[in-house]
Amino acid sequence: MRLIGSLAIGVLLQGSLQAQVKLPAVLADAEKQTKVMLQSVSAAKEGKADLVSPRTIENGKLKLVTSRDWTSGFFPGVLWFLYQYTGKQEWLTQAKAYTANIEREKTNAGTHDMGFKIFCSFGTGYRLTNDAAYKDIIIQSAKTLSTRFNPTVGCIRSWDHHKEVWGFPVIIDNMMNLELLFEATKFTGDSSFYKIAVSHANTTMKNHFRPDYSSYHVIDYDTTTGAVVKKNTHQGYSHESAWSRGQAWGLYGYTMCYRYTKNPIYLQQAEHIAAFILNHPRLPKDLVPYYDFDGPDIPNAPRDASAAAVIASGLYELAGYSKNGKRYRTTADKIVTNLTRSYRSPIGENFGFLLLHSTGSKPSNSEVDVPLNYADYYYLEALLRGKKK
């Protein structure tokens, strides 16, 4: 009986993430490396209290950012994930402290990045602690984000910069900020947040996607008519190319929209995006995309491990909703395994970042082939999602 039991478990684990990487060891390494990061942050701060989160390595130095930066919430999120996995008081203490540093963003109406900042930090913290103060901050942040919604366009405005180029830019990344709005409706019963999220998702589905379900990065709208003015890129190779992280944001974003709405059109959209990514002839064998699927320098183009981490995490969730779930889960397992085996920083190096080889913005030669805090955040999220069976 016992033998049959262990054989059965062996069969279950075969092909699973647990069978391919030793998760306890990988997560123990992540703890060690994040301790290195905490020391690196203290050393790099040089008394500057407004520098709150590590973002990347620039010119050989650890780059810290203020709470206003779109990435400020990811390192607090990494700390929350370590607390989630270990239950250790030390990670809870650090997660609370780094999260508190970015509370002021709840009233910053100058950006759409509210979800990235507040939901990855306070949202993850609330999920793990039920702290009522975190809930209030999430609700206030959703109110602030809602002020950027234009009913004629049907979307939340993404950027206020580059006003000379775009009148009302909406980027595919913005799909990720809808989670904050859906949660705010759950907390308050006020459906206005939910309606904004649905309107944004539907308008984006209509205008951001090409017939092959790849997406443009930036859509510029006319605010008097709601018409599309331009279809552009900012971080991809060209306006008509498929910027990898944008495809990843779309996949994760529509999967998350299905979680809250159970509207099958979002599930179908996520599956179409997954098919575009996974069947792409220029997706490398290790499933870690080049920064753009159409980069002219492929196979020498830089990779983007952050896109791979977002795709893996999104696929784990999608697997739970789809009849193709087995394929999605197996693929996510492969991505996480490859990131773990070939893209991790050695412990004690790279200031404590977990993953190497991400690309922020190749066209502006910014953050090319470097560690990025959001790669680490989605990698850990994917590891924890993959660990669950």
Give, for 258, the enclosing helix (H) or strand (E): helix 244-261
Cα separation values, 164 from 159, 161, 169, 172, 230, Å: 12, 8, 11, 20, 13
Q: Which of residues 313-352 bind ligand GLY (CB under 6 A)?
A: none
Give, for 87, the enclosing helix (H) or strand (E): none
Minimum distance of ligand GLY from residue 11's CB (angstroms): 39
Cα separation values, 17 from 33, 268, 290, 305, Å: 21, 26, 23, 18
Question: Of the candidates 129, 128, 146, 125, which has an alpha carbon nearest to the alpha carbon of residue 188?
Answer: 146
Burial of 16 (0-12, 13-18, 19+ CB in 10 A): middle
Q: Which of 214, 232, 235, 241 binds ligand GLY (CB under 6 A)?
A: 235
User: Which residues have CB under 8 Å from 290's CB, separation 6+?
Assistant: 244, 282, 284, 298, 299, 301, 302, 303, 304
Minimum distance of ligand GLY from residue 317's CB (angstroms): 19
Kindly name the residue from 113, 294, 304, 376 that is annotated as catalytic: 113
Q: In the complex with ligand GLY, which residue's Cβ is closer, 91 or 209?
A: 209
The site that binds ligand GLY (CB under 6 A) totals a number of residues, namely 5
DSSP three-state, residue 171: strand
Kindly name the residue from 29, 131, 160, 173 that is annotated as catalytic: 173
Minimum distance of ligand GLY from residue 249's CB (angstroms): 7
Active site residue 220: no
d(CA 121, CA 128): 11
Q: In the complex with ligand GLY, which residue's Cβ is closer, 76 or 360?
A: 360
173 is an interface residue for ligand GLY by CB under 6 A: yes
Q: Residue 374 has which token pair?
A: 């959001």
Q: In the complex with ligand GLY, which residue's Cβ is closer, 70 or 187?
A: 70
105 is an interface residue for ligand GLY by CB under 6 A: no
Minimum distance of ligand GLY from residue 173's CB (angstroms): 4
d(CA 26, CA 22): 6
Minimum distance of ligand GLY from residue 116's CB (angstroms): 7
Q: In the complex with ligand GLY, which residue's Cβ is closer, 247 or 269?
A: 247
DSSP three-state, residue 102: coil
Phi and psi angles of residue 169, each rounded to the nearest 5 degrees, phi first:
-80, 135
Q: Which amino acid makes up residue 248? A: A
Q: Which of residues 347-386 bind ligand GLY (CB under 6 A)?
A: 360
Q: In the complex with ligand GLY, which residue's Cβ is closer, 139 or 375?
A: 375
Q: In the complex with ligand GLY, which residue's Cβ is closer, 64 or 319?
A: 64
Compute CA 298 distance to the chain's CA centroid, rounded to the nearest angstrom.
24
d(CA 91, CA 298): 40
Minimum distance of ligand GLY from residue 246's CB (angstroms): 7
DSSP three-state, residue 358: strand
Q: Which of 245, 357, 362, 385 binds ligand GLY (CB under 6 A)?
A: 245
Binding string, residues 52-81; x marks residues near ligand GLY by CB under 6 A: ------------------x-----------
Binding string, residues 251-280; x marks residues near ligand GLY by CB under 6 A: ------------------------------
In the complex, the residues that contact ligand GLY under the rule CB under 6 A are: 70, 173, 235, 245, 360
Give the catalytic positions in this structure. Answer: 113, 173
